[in-house]
Amino acid sequence: MKQTLTRSKGLQGTIQVPGDKSISHRALMIASLAEGTSEIHGFLEAADPLSTRQCLKTLGIEFDMNDNALRVHGRGLRGLRAPTRELDAGNSGTTLRLLAGILAGQTFVSRLVGDASLSQRPMKRVIEPLARMGARIESTERATAPLTIHGIFPLKAIHYEMPISSAQVKSAVLLAGLFAEGDTSVVETITTRDHTERMLGLERREQNGRMVITTRGGMTIEPRAFSIPGDLSSAAFLIVAATIVPGSDLLLKNIGLNPTRSRCIELLRSIGADIREERVEVFSGEPQGDLRVRSAALRGDLVLDGKKSAEVIDEIPILAIASLFSQGSFRLTGAGDLRNKESDRISAMVKNLRALGCEVEEYADGFAFQGKKDVIGAEIDSFGDHRIAMAFGVAGLAAEGKMTIHGAECVAISFPGFWELLLQLQRS
């Protein structure tokens, strides 16, 4: 599918952004391990969370709808059933890695598979700690999916110091810790998104400048109501769109403002974006609120190094687009893991920025360029990556001429209806 965009006269409206993808995944898994029925309000009906839901259904979990809430009939820590077929994670790394943690503590064998893209992504980072806990996991010679998991109960509790920054690996180990004897701790130097520990109510403490999170083996998970806020990573595309398109004024409702996710807002404000929080409350342990965004002239440099890169890893493509339309420069380093996302995002961004006439310097772990005064639309390859497609779609709203996104259907992974929404927000 191709999507063509042209310069907008302004974006106006009030928007409810789709539910947070990361929280939707975790709510499904945690509710499945609870002792009873939970309700999930605001669940993201997109490809990735639906992959998680289908995998859990194959493991014996039942779902139904009640008053627009997804009901999950949890079976407790020991209630999952041996699957009768492969568990297909689709394109979702979160599904594969987090479920690996849960399946490591079962007493049956399961096999996790994914699509061609996911089957290229590194899994050694999750295999190693789970193997230390006692699970036996078979993979390809390159330590990629498919993964055949020979679970064991109980697992061994471990104290695991994260060698890389990864919320997925952290969550996999913490979830596996539910099936271990004793306490399992994860230590991270750079704080990554903390939805798992918030939702499980885990102990978190700072120690010598690092964060230590602990899971208690065998803890009972009570059923509850989950309220999923709007996904800030998805909202970021609309925030930047309203910022770079003159005459824009958007109100984004009920956006998740978890401090481990909101660094992108701070960075955009630092170069002149007009983003205001109008209401902030806490639901299900997660802060959320409304964001008012008006168009603004961007000035200043965005410099993202290792720590900052980890804090905005999913927002890097759209932050780069903001810099493209600013009077400043963009420089990213310490983000080598971007090459292991749905696409090689460093290569994808560099190729597409060059297609727009931008002079880009590429590194093994990032890229750099200077903002342009005039951006002219071009033919853009999404590389099957939802964040690449949406980032350059936003650029098309502020560029001269036509911007055509090839492979535009991939936005359904996280933001179904994205292209239709952009059209609805246009000023006449």
- Whole-angstrom Cα distance, residue 322 to residue 299? 10
145-162 burial code (b ≥16 CB/10 A, e <16): bbbebbbbbebebbebeb
Q: Is 14 in a helix, a strand, or coil?
A: strand
Sign of CA dihedral 298, 304, 307, 310: positive
Written as six digits, the tokens of 246 are 């003159």
Which of 48, 88, 290, 314 is catalytic? The answer is 314
Q: If DSSP states are collapsed to H, E and C, what string results for 112-136?
A: EECCCCHHHCCCHHHHHHHHHCCCE
Written as six digits, the tokens of 257 are 């403002």
Instruction: Please say if 314 is a catalytic residue.
Output: yes
- How distant, in Å, are the alpha carbons of 35, 62, 71 from that of 65? 19, 11, 6
Written as six digits, the tokens of 48 are 């990735």
**Residue 193 near residue 170 (C-beta atoms within 8 A):** no
Residue numbers annotated as active site: 314
